Amino acid sequence: MEEITALEERVKDVLKTCYDPEIPVNIYELGLIYEVRVEAGNDVFVKMTLTSPACPVAETLPVEVEQKIKEMPDVNSAKVEITFNPPWNKDMMSEEAKLELGMW
């Protein structure tokens, strides 16, 4: 169980290297990540959203996220699922992201 928790934390660190090119804050701090789950065999599942269904990176960002996770040591496979339920809103951002974007 500790190994899964450690891998989950490393996945979150990798997610913090992914950015929506229009917003200078990583997708994790933006609140776009709804779930990170490491399953048996180190299969990683990520449920995420986008800032809007018409987001210009809707085709590329989930692929980038999945690829970065797949390239991690100890990861067997990665699957990224996009959802718009619940819809993203600025209240989902971390305090750090709100400060970065001047939303206080």
Where exactly are the structural domains of the chain?
2-90
Model pTM? Answer: 0.91
As a whole number, mean pLDDT of residues 37-62 equals 92
The model's pLDDT over 56-83, given as tens digits with 9 standing for 90+, comes to: 888 999 999 999 999 999 999 999 999 9
Structure tokens at 54: 């018409």
| Per-residue confidence (pLDDT) for residue 5, from 0 to 100 | 85
Q: Is the CATH number 3.90.230.10 carried by domain 2-90?
A: no
Between CA 67 and CA 51 the distance in angstroms is 20
The model's pLDDT over 3-22, given as tens digits with 9 standing for 90+, comes to: 668 999 999 999 999 998 88
| Per-residue confidence (pLDDT) for residue 73, from 0 to 100 | 93
Between CA 37 and CA 73 the distance in angstroms is 16
